[in-house]
Amino acid sequence: MPNPTTRREFLGGATGFTAATLLGARSLGGVHVGGRDTMQVALVGCGGRGSGAARDALSVTHGPLRLVAMADVFEDRLAASHEALSGAVADGVDVARERRFIGLDAYRHAMDSLNPGDIVILATPPAFRWVHFSYAIERGLNVFMEKPVTVDGPTSRRMLDLAERSRERGLRVGVGLMSRHSRAMQELAQRVRGGELGEIISQQGYRMQGLIATFQSPPRPEGVSELEYQIRRFHSFLWASGGAFNDFFIHIIDQLCWMKGAWPVSAHAVGGRHFRAAPDGVPYIDQNFDSYGVEYTYADGTTMRFDGRNMKGAQERFMSAMHGTRGSAIVSATSDCGLPSRIYGRHDFSPESLRWTSEVARDERNPYQNEWNDLVDAIREGREYNEAQRGVEASVVCNMGRMSAHTGREVTFEQMLACEHEFAPGVAELTLDSAAPVTADAEGRYPTPRPGYLTQREY
């Protein structure tokens, strides 16, 4: 993996924003350690994944946990999330109206409702992650943050700095790369480390699907501000999410890096946009390509190939696999971490060469729940547990694949980390009356990548 000492050389210009708030921080060590007292939870970002994370938090095996505060930019999303959670896990929801906070500064009020050692869920678009993580560390809170956690070079450097500071304070941090908590994949990884595949020589990952979430967006409707529109449709905007590449593809890419036991050192990618309008002529104005192909190269010269596509009517393929000198393996059979994982004696995945198939206990088949059980167990037992650095590194690997496709140039891990193009430099000061980080042209379209023409930045 890339050398952490090398990475820290890039952090010098990114630490000032935390100096005043974190300089006098003291380790909180023993809060909630070894106890069965109720831990309080705040949810920051009440969309579908944030609501799902809150439901999983309130369903842990070593509770009790209680949701006591919620925050979102938009009242309708918070209200819908509160209603859904109150119906699904009513015993764990205690969010009085005065602890439901709206606006871009709502995260502060939600975290201020907690005590040191409680847990905050950070599930807003990742552009805001470093801002919210910084405040969580200042407040002495354990953190569960959704992926991806960074979208560009400057925010990656800040998040690496914050990851180190969270470790120094003894905080426990989980990152929503749930494949790492798939019991089937954990056993597969152990078998790979034990030599059952020999040396891994190639990997393949696919997430080729239709039009999901807010991948595509029509022009902004009247009466909605630029900033509100871009936050609501964050998959369409690179500043907010890293686009479709980061949000949709990170799980497959991360799990294959995990199996290899290394991060790629470079990426060489292609990509393009085939359709700029719907069949009825309504233009798509988002910043995404609809297809990507990346060749990631590891330090030993072996490669991982990843193909991603969001295209209606095209053949779908969503899985991951790898080949070694002694055989091959299916990592995820379907979706991001679909069962079963398998090992084969040949490279054609033939049934007669099957050597091993994962078997997972029924109560451990849900990796989303497993990651919460693992985090809360670590808090209760006082064990070190911090996935923040790993989450940043996985995000950097995604960023470099995306940037390579968008610029038409090979991009290394260190180049991506050192890149100075910050997509939303004023994100910490945004208000709902602020100008949006990108603006549309006269036709309502936003800037898109131009490979070969823009080679040092993505748009």
pLDDT digits (tens, 9 = 90+) for 55-111: 999 999 999 999 999 999 999 999 999 999 999 999 999 999 999 999 999 999 999
Q: Is the residue at 258 inside a domain?
A: yes
How large is the average pLDDT for residues 369-390?
A: 98
Structurally, the chain folds into a number of domains equal to 2
Half-sphere exposure of 79 (CA within 13 A, CB side): 3
pLDDT of residue 17: 33
Q: Residue 324 and residue 295: Cα distance in Å, rounded? A: 18
Instruction: Say if residue 69 is in the same domain as residue 111.
Output: yes
275 and 214 in a single domain? The answer is yes
Residue 2 clears pLDDT 50, i.e. is over it: no
Q: Do strands 200-209 and 266-272 pair parallel, antiparallel, or not at all (unpaired)?
A: unpaired
The pair of structure tokens assigned to 362 is 């029924």
More confident site: 279 or 368: 368
Do 244 and 166 share a structural domain? no
The number of beta carbons lying within 10 Å of the beta carbon of residue 208 is 17
Mean of the per-residue pLDDT values of the chain? 92
> Are 112 and 229 contained in the same domain?
no
Asked, for residue 448, whether it belongs to a domain, the answer is no
326-334's contacts with Cβ under 8 Å and 24+ in sequence apart are 326/195, 326/196, 326/197, 326/198, 327/196, 327/197, 327/198, 327/353, 327/355, 328/197, 329/188, 329/192, 329/197, 329/259, 331/185, 331/188, 331/255, 331/256, 331/259, 332/179, 332/185, 332/252, 332/255
User: Domain holding 116: CATH number?
Assistant: 3.40.50.720
Are residue 174 and residue 259 in the same domain, yes or no? no
- Is 118 within a domain? yes
> Could you tell me the pLDDT band of residue 349, with boundaries at 50, 70 and 90?
very high
Band (pLDDT 50/70/90 cuts) for residue 279 is confident
Q: Are residues 132 and 234 in the same domain?
A: no
Q: Tell me, yes or no, whether 287 and 345 share the same domain.
A: yes
The reply to whether 220 and 165 lie within a common domain is: no
Q: What is the pLDDT of residues 171-223, one digit of tens each?
A: 999 999 999 999 999 999 999 999 999 999 999 999 999 999 999 999 999 99
Report the pLDDT value the prediction gives residue 347, as an integer from 0 to 100: 97
Q: Is residue 294 part of a domain?
A: yes
Residue 439 included in any domain: no
- 204 and 174 housed in the same domain: no
Percentage of the chain exceeding pLDDT 90: 88
CA distance 153 to 160: 11
Confidence of residue 435 (pLDDT cuts 50, 70, 90): very high
Q: Are residues 277 and 379 in the same domain?
A: no
Same domain as 148, residue 246: no
Q: Per-residue pLDDT for 429 more than 80?
A: yes
Contact 120, 111 (CB under 8 A): yes
**Residue 430: what pLDDT?**
96
User: How large is the average pLDDT for residues 136-145?
Assistant: 98
Q: Which residues contact 300 (CB under 8 A, 6 or more apart)?
A: 262
Q: Is residue 457 part of a domain?
A: no
- Note the pLDDT of residue 36: 61
pLDDT of 7 reads: 34
Percentage of the chain modeled with pLDDT above 70 = 92
Residue 273 domain flag? yes
Strand partners, 272: 291
Look at residue 10 in the predicted model and tell me its pLDDT: 33
- Where in the sequence is the domain holding 152, given as residue range(s)? 4-179+368-387
CATH number, residue 190: 3.30.360.10
Residue 450 domain-assigned?
no
More confident residue, 276 or 44: 44
What are the tokens at 415? 């180049």
Query: Are both 236 and 168 inside the same structural domain?
Result: no
* Mean pLDDT along residues 378-386: 97
Residue 392 banded pLDDT, cuts 50, 70, 90: very high
